[in-house]
Amino acid sequence: MTVRLRLTALYGGLFVLAGAVLLTITYLLLAQALAGQQVDALMLSRTVHGVAVQATPARPASGPTSPEMFQLATKLQTDFRSATLRSLLQQGGVALGAVAIAGVWAAWFAAGRTLRPLAEITATARRIADRNLHERIAMTGPRDELRRLADTVDDMLARLDAAFAAQRRFAANASHELRTPLAINRTLIEVALSHPDPSPDVRRLGETLLVINARHERLIDGLLLLARGDQDLVDPVPVDLAEITRHVASLHEVAEVTVSPSPMAGDPVLLERMVQNLVENAVIHGRSVAVTCEPGRLTVTNSGPVIAAYEIPRLFEPFQRLTDRVGSATGTGLGLSIVRAVARAHGGTAVGEPGPDGGLTVTVEFLTSSA
């Protein structure tokens, strides 16, 4: 039962209970009033006797009161009381039913008016949950309990927005600052290896350092993409996800590719990196790869070792892998986390599940795709 339905049942029940109590009190008071009236048997019998006299002229109209006349008068008064109380119950019950229907409708309307601010707060919170932390409830009106609740939520959203913005700025700035020394290191190593006849130890050391430096550069680029994907799209442009998928699949020589036009609005660079991460992850960790792109949906499946379903959610977290938490010498552990961040930035979702032949199936759905 919703809150509105519970409030309607409560208000309507109280309304019906109040009407029933009022009808009961009216019944008791009327019964007491009727019971307190004395029987004027002489007047009533004379009235009845007078009627009888009109039918029988031989009997005088002012004759004495007989026991039969008194019993008749008492019976008439008892019948009158019973008929009056019964009529009160019948008509009062009908009135109570009509009032109960009107009361339930009024309670439903009043509950809706009372809960309308909560509905606005819920709708705003749902929009904010779709990564729009800049929006506020901004409720107006008297500073009642609902207004204080909305203001508290707005303050919380402001702090969350500031915290997420600071986190994104830190990741972006740190990544930019780290790219410069890595580029300098790569240049120095390449210059050292370009000298004529370097010793075997120097060459092995230089090649190892180049591999490590390249991994660090990929890691920094991944962090930059992750920070960028966590931000809202500033200027989305029309793009066809099918064309991006076909291009990336051809670069990795994926044989099983099924695409159909999937127009949407987004960032082409981020979408290409998302597809590239999915295909690269499938090629590296699987024996066979299948890519399917249809309107609003991208699915990449690879076959390989069986993956437990409970292990899949953490694969979408940064630096998480099946074998260990840090990663390998070639990967960065950011591939699927970047996929999820880019999907969210485009109003979509990215979920994984065990593949039909082992391996992993990742499905990206864009809930706000448009032509």
At position 139, the amino acid (one-letter code) is: M
Q: Are residues 346 and 257 in the same domain?
A: yes
The gap from C-alpha 119 to its chain's centroid, in whole angstroms, comes to 12
**Residue 1: predicted pLDDT:** 67
Rounded to an integer, what distance in angstroms lies between the CA atom of residue 41 and that of residue 65?
Answer: 8
The answer to whether residue 139 is domain-embedded is no
Q: Are residues 12 and 61 in the same domain?
A: yes
The answer to whether residue 50 is domain-embedded is yes
pLDDT tens digit sequence for 168-214: 777 777 777 777 888 888 888 888 888 887 788 888 888 888 888 88
CATH number of the domain within which 309 lies: 3.30.565.10
The answer to whether residue 180 is domain-embedded is yes
The answer to whether residue 138 is domain-embedded is no
> Which of 129, 159, 179 is the last residue in one of the domains?
129
**Burial degree of 313 (CB within 10 A; 0-12, 13-18, 19+):** exposed
> Which of 229, 258, 283 is the last residue in one of the domains?
229
**Residue 350: predicted pLDDT:** 92
Provide φ and ψ at 294, rounded to 5°: -135, 170
CA distances from 170 to 165, 174, 231, 272, 276 (A): 9, 6, 13, 25, 26
| CB-side neighbour CA atoms (13 Å) of 108 | 7
Q: Return the closest-CA partner of residue 209 out of 177, 185, 176.
A: 185
Q: Are residues 197 and 247 in the same domain?
A: no
Q: Are residues 241 and 224 in the same domain?
A: no
Q: Are residues 242 and 317 in the same domain?
A: yes
Structure tokens at 26: 């009216």
Q: Are residues 23 and 64 in the same domain?
A: yes
The pTM for the full model equals: 0.53
Whole domain around residue 87: which residue ranges?
3-129
- Ranges of residues in the chain with a pLDDT under 70 are 1, 37-66, 69-70, 129-132, 227-234, 322-332, 368-371
Q: Are residues 190 and 116 in the same domain?
A: no
Q: Are residues 27 and 52 in the same domain?
A: yes
**Residue 329: predicted pLDDT:** 47
151, 139 in Cβ contact below 8 A?
yes
The answer to whether residue 371 is domain-embedded is no
CATH number of the domain within which 157 lies: 1.10.287.130
Rounded to an integer, what distance in angstroms lies between the CA atom of residue 362 and that of residue 341?
Answer: 14
Q: Are residues 222 and 270 in the same domain?
A: no
Rounded to an integer, what distance in angstroms lies between the CA atom of residue 318 and that of residue 228?
Answer: 14
> Which of 229, 251, 273 is the last residue in one of the domains?
229
Rounded to an integer, what distance in angstroms lies between the CA atom of residue 37 and that of residue 301?
Answer: 93
Rounded to an integer, what distance in angstroms lies between the CA atom of residue 361 and that of residue 290?
Answer: 9
Q: Are residues 125 and 189 in the same domain?
A: no
Q: Are residues 360 and 242 in the same domain?
A: yes
Q: What is the tally of structural domains in the chain? A: 3
Number of Cβ within 10 Å of residue 193's Cβ equals 15
Rounded to an integer, what distance in angstroms lies between the CA atom of residue 181 and that of residue 164?
Answer: 27
133, 160 in Cβ contact below 8 A?
yes
At position 285, the amino acid (one-letter code) is: H
Number of Cβ within 10 Å of residue 151's Cβ equals 15
The answer to whether residue 134 is domain-embedded is no
